[in-house]
Structure 1
């Protein structure tokens, strides 16, 4: 009986490891195939071998060709994603601190409305936003992509940062104010440094979401000079302007994806710590 009890947990552990391995493989195979396809020769698109043979950089050369303008698209993506992240941190930090620390009427309703806004699908905002931005002549501008991105970034920022602020003892601010600091100075010099892990996590998640955004950027911008990388990749055409250059799109996908994967792998512990902070005291 004792032997069977000791073997059972080991068997369950093996099943758990196998299940995790299946999930990991399932998630990584598409990304691996994208890399393999990116390093094939353009004429070897139909090759189903698991390794590119022969190895070629032709697809990457096509991505950065002078007629594609991919460098400009990458710069536009950086501008939009960085601006969205910065505005989200500024507005979200003050909003989260207000909800976590201050008492005012309808506080719970306000918090509920902020979270509820994240439930609206982005496509539902396109028609009214398109009409609004057309009337104020914001079409083909950076702000027509940045401001809509805030609609999904701010609720996440407020939710994450409010958790950090709630778990911080109020005595920290009170002690700082006793030492002569104002509430604003206590917030800036005491609370913000302690909330840095949460702000860091929020910044990474917001940047990734804004970097990968597609439908809003496609709808609001039709000038090539303002298009972001995701839209530019979708509009790649072959030499005849009618075919879909599969290998070139895979190469561009590797270029826009690998930096994000590297950042997540480097800072994965901070991200997990930020998302789970406040769950257990």
Structure 2
């Protein structure tokens, strides 16, 4: 590329980075402002204030935020683990076994993944009240599987198709059973794809708001996104903008840490099979 083209690409990249990071910078700024400083119209706080973080960690809002944070971690991790295991077996069968209706299953999984959650929230609320799953961890884990399992099956089935069938056959020729070949040969090769799928499934469950606000009513199982919607100010005339910004920043930290720690595995899982040699 010429010098002019390189300059244009650099400028475009800088503009994209600024556009992507500006909302995060704005949230950080709001979280560091006092309640009297939020509405002054300035981007940067006039004086750094940690009252919003104290409010959600040790103050009045901690009774709402900390149990919700615990619930989100527990429920999302369990839902992700179950979804990854079930999707791994389902995707392996779809990729390795020839049977009628395979394309229909994949199309149905994709259709379920893009189905609007709000359409089934109310019927699910009524059903959960009848069977006793309302405001419980299982009452959220099961709906979260409807969010995470379809996209996990779709992603892993494409990944399993890229693993050479001959490697599994060679293990069986050496005396391994189909289960041993799957466990000792296929699973290690599929680890990057499974890990990437698990991260995506965790993000989907972690960011859910509709199920969290519809299927819970107490701190027993309410997740963080639903808890953020219930924050209140010091009075009915004060908006809890600062505490919500601080809580949103804290909730974002685990996601950022996961991506930074496992970014190589995520990239390996997403790009595996993209280029055939």
Both proteins in one fold, TM over 0.5: yes
Q: Which residue of 2 aligns with 1:222?
A: 217
Give CA-to-partner distance per residue, 1:52-77, whole Å, 9 cap, x none.
33212111011123543222111000
Tell me if 1:17 matches 2:2: no
Match of 1:41 among 23, 34, 41: 34
Give CA-to-partner distance per residue, 1:153-197, whole Å, 9 cap, x none.
112211221122111111111111112111011101111011110
> Shift in Å at residue 134 of structure 1?
2.0
Structure 2 unaligned residues grouped into runs of 5+: none
Match of 1:72 among 44, 67, 74: 67
Q: Which residue of 2 aligns with 1:94?
A: 89
Contact 2:147 2:205 in 1 (8 A): no
Q: Which residue of 2 aligns with 1:61?
A: 54
Contact 1:85 1:203 in 2 (8 A): yes
Match of 2:107 among 108, 112, 115: 112
Tell me if 1:81 matches 2:85: no
User: Structure 1 length as normaliser, TM-score?
Assistant: 0.91
CA distance in 1, matches of 2:72, 2:152: 20
Give CA-to-partner distance per residue, 1:117-161, whole Å, 9 cap, x none.
112111112122122212212111112211111112112211221
> Shift in Å at residue 242 of structure 1?
5.7
Contact 2:231 2:240 in 1 (8 A): yes
> Shift in Å at residue 241 of structure 1?
5.0
CA distance in 2, matches of 1:142, 1:239: 31
Tell me if 1:196 matches 2:188: no
Superposition map of 1:117-132 within 5 A: 117-132=112-127
CA distance in 1, matches of 2:10, 2:142: 43
Give CA-to-partner distance per residue, 1:9-39, whole Å, 9 cap, x none.
x433332332222222111111101111111
CA distance in 2, matches of 1:204, 1:185: 26
Match of 2:129 among 127, 134, 138: 134
SS in 1 for 2:40: coil
Structure 1 unaligned residues grouped into runs of 5+: 1-5
Q: Which residue of 2 aligns with 1:182?
A: 177
Tell me if 1:248 matches 2:243: yes
Match of 1:155 among 131, 135, 150: 150
Q: Which residue of 2 aligns with 1:103?
A: 98
SS in 1 for 2:273: coil
User: Structure 2 length as normaliser, TM-score?
Assistant: 0.93
CA RMSD across the alignment: 1.7
CA distance in 2, matches of 1:131, 1:200: 35
CA distance in 2, matches of 1:106, 1:65: 55
> Which range moves more in the overlay, 112-121 or 235-244?
235-244
Match of 1:31 among 14, 24, 32: 24
